[in-house]
Chains A and B, each alone.
Chain A
Amino acid sequence: MADMTSGERDLSPATGAIHRHYRQLLATRRLYSLIAVAGVAIVLVLALLFANEASSGKFIDRLPYLFDFIKNFVPDDPFEIVRAMFDLPSPYADGSFKYDYEVGRHYLFGTGFYIPEYFFEMLVTLNIAFASTLIGGLFAFFFCFLAASNLGVAGPLRWIVRRLFELMRAFPEIVLAGMMAAVLSLGPIAAIFAVSVHTVGALGKMFFEVVENADMKPDDGLRAVGANWFERVRFAIVPQVMPNFVSYFLLRTEINVRASTIIGAVGGGGIGEVFRQAIGRDHAAKTYAIVILLFLTIVAIDQLSGWLRRRLVGNAAFQFGA
Chain B
Amino acid sequence: MTPQQIFESLKSRFGEAVLEAKIDAFPDPWIRVAPAKLREICLYLRDDGEMLFDVLMCLSGMDYRAGKLGVVYHCDSTAKHHRIVLKTEFTDADPHVASVESVWKTANWHEREAFDLYGIVFDGHPDLRRILMPDDWRGFPMRKDYQVPEFYNGMKVPY
A, B in one complex: no
